[in-house]
């Protein structure tokens, strides 16, 4: 898929989508946020998406559940064009979990069961809490009294309540300590294996990607630099772009560009 974002002055036309060049009027510019990103996610597979800050990782997640429109190419989910899915149904099946999940004021349980009540689906809050390794006692607690790690797990449980096929995780552990991070990594890898859920995991951390995923996609300025199985990605044969990214990634790459 390709995604361009018009930073347009109203009424101007003719921007060059491919290059982001100025239009003939000199007023409009379109920035290409993703360039021909191509790929396929299998059920049970965890794909990590890596790249410097601003490389298009979150944009890619957003287009996959139609939070952001594409302007070229196509996306299919279960062999059906994405746009043929009712958007609420799509977002139930392809569940986006943000870096800092949003909740409405109320208890953990009210938040957890909101979607299943909306969809009229059965829900077992205690079982879901167990799946994400949270104490069932927390269900009665106002959601804003939960810690960051507990909230991230609750967000995961809230998604799992709707039995999605795909989880889109946008740096889900970036605000968490190493212990909670490892717990969430183990939980998600177990879930993907056991329940055959496809997972796209955006992370800044190559070591996290190495721990959780079978395949890694490296983006830079919206371009795919590499899309490789884990062993190949971390091997000497991965190519200059990957090597340069890994060389500058010491947990934080400071938004530097990688060699294309």
Among 24, 53, 100, 145, binds ligand ATP (CB under 6 A): 53
In sequence order, what E strands does 35-174 have? 46-50, 76-77, 80-81, 94-97, 166-170
Residue 150 CB partners (closer than 8 Å, separation 6+): 134, 138
Is residue 206 within 8 A of residue 246, CB to CB? The reply is yes
Assess 63 for contact with ligand ATP (CB under 6 A).
Answer: no
* Nearest CB to ligand ATP, comparing residues 151 and 253: 253
Assess 5 for contact with ligand ATP (CB under 6 A).
Answer: yes
- Residue 143: CB minimum distance to ligand ATP, A: 24
Among 1, 15, 33, 128, binds ligand ATP (CB under 6 A): 33
Judged by CB under 6 A, which stretch of 48-56, 119-127, 144-152, 179-187 contacts ligand ATP? 48-56
C-alpha–C-alpha distance, residues 251 and 4, integer Å: 29
- Closest-CA residue to 217 (of 201, 237, 240): 201
Assess 100 for contact with ligand ATP (CB under 6 A).
Answer: no
DSSP structural state of residue 133: T
Assess 253 for contact with ligand ATP (CB under 6 A).
Answer: no
Among 56, 101, 149, 172, binds ligand ATP (CB under 6 A): 56
C-alpha–C-alpha distance, residues 108 and 145, integer Å: 9
Instruction: Please give the residue ranges that form the binding site for ligand ATP (CB under 6 A).
Output: 5, 33, 51, 53-59
């Amino acid at each position: 898929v390709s995604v361009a974002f018009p930073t347009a002055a109203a009424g101007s036309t003719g921007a060059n989508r491919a290059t982001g060049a100025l239009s003939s009027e000199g007023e409009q510019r379109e920035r290409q946020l993703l360039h021909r990103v191509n790929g396929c996610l299998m059920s049970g597979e965890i794909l990590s998406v890596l790249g410097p800050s601003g490389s298009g990782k979150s944009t890619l997640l957003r287009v996959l559940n139609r939070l952001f429109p594409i302007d070229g190419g196509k996306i299919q989910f279960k062999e059906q064009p994405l746009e043929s899915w009712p958007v609420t149904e799509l977002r139930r099946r392809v569940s986006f979990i943000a870096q800092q999940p949003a909740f409405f004021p109320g208890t953990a349980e009210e938040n957890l069961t909101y979607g299943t009540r909306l969809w009229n689906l059965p829900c077992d809050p205690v079982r879901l809490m167990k799946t994400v390794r949270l104490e069932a006692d927390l269900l009665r607690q106002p959601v804003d009294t939960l810690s960051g790690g507990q909230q991230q797990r609750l967000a995961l449980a809230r998604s799992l309540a709707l039995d999605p096929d795909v989880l889109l995780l946008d740096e889900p552990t970036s605000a968490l300590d190493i212990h909670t991070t490892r717990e969430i990594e183990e939980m998600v890898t177990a879930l993907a294996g056991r329940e055959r859920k496809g997972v796209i995991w955006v992370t800044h951390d190559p070591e996290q990607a190495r721990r959780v995923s079978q395949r890694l996609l490296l983006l830079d300025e919206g371009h795919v630099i590499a899309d490789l199985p884990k062993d190949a990605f971390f091997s000497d044969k991965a190519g200059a772009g990957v090597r340069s990214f890994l060389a500058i990634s010491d947990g934080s790459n400071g938004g530097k560009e990688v060699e294309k």
